[in-house]
Amino acid sequence: MDPLDLTQAPPRSPRATLRGLCMLPRMIDIARAQLPGGRAGQYQIGVGFSGMVFYKLGLGAPEFRAIVAAAPDDGAVAEKVMPGLDEPTSLRLNARLEGARVADIPPDLRPIFESFYGPNVPVERNMFDFLEDDDAGKIASGAAKAP
């Protein structure tokens, strides 16, 4: 796959799905931005929501980046990373990801989150909504804007 420049346009929405799994297209975009010639900007994979997806897929960020680098398209990535992920597991993971709130950020990841957005993000805020607002420029670094 070709590298992406995420300083010019954000990755796909966390709600975008590939073979029924949300977050996967976004993770592919971020991995492509981390390839030589790409620019990831503030985006990263391997922690937070993508870390949960990696856990279910049984792989880590370096392995995922290698798969993305070698794949001709999204479908080839999905075929390589999802062979053991059945539909009920995907649905449960999607429900967990789609329903996550700021309050659900694990304590060990909260300092990273707060370094980007400050400590005053409302804990009831849906994380997918938050990520989409951040992608759209509605969230200022160091301080969360109201939705």
Same domain, 34 and 74: yes
The whole-number pLDDT of residue 85 equals: 77
Which H, E and C letters describe 71-95, residue by residue?
A: CCCHHHHHHHHCCCCCHHHHHHHHH
Same domain, 4 and 61: yes
Domain count, the chain: 2
The whole-number pLDDT of residue 144 equals: 41
Same domain, 76 and 142: no
pLDDT at position 87 over 90:
no
As beta bridge partners, residue 140 has 143
Provide, rounded to the nearest whole percent, the portion of the chain with pLDDT above 70: 94
Of the three residues 99, 117, 137, the one that is the final residue of a domain is: 99
Same domain, 94 and 122: no
The whole-number pLDDT of residue 9 equals: 94
CA distances from 17 to 2, 6, 116 (A): 20, 19, 26
Q: Decide: 40 and 72 in contact? Cβ < 8 Å.
A: no
Same domain, 109 and 74: no
Enclosing domain of residue 87: 1-99
Same domain, 79 and 104: no
Q: Quick one: DSSP state of residue 145?
A: P
pTM (predicted TM-score): 0.85
Same domain, 79 and 123: no
Same domain, 21 and 55: yes
Same domain, 95 and 131: no
The whole-number pLDDT of residue 140 equals: 60
Same domain, 28 and 47: yes
The whole-number pLDDT of residue 117 equals: 82
pLDDT at position 141 over 70:
no
Over residues 39-62, the mean pLDDT reads 85
pLDDT at position 60 over 50:
yes
Same domain, 117 and 89: no
Same domain, 60 and 8: yes
Q: Which of 133, 137, 108, 113 is nearest to 123 (CA)?
A: 113
The whole-number pLDDT of residue 145 equals: 39
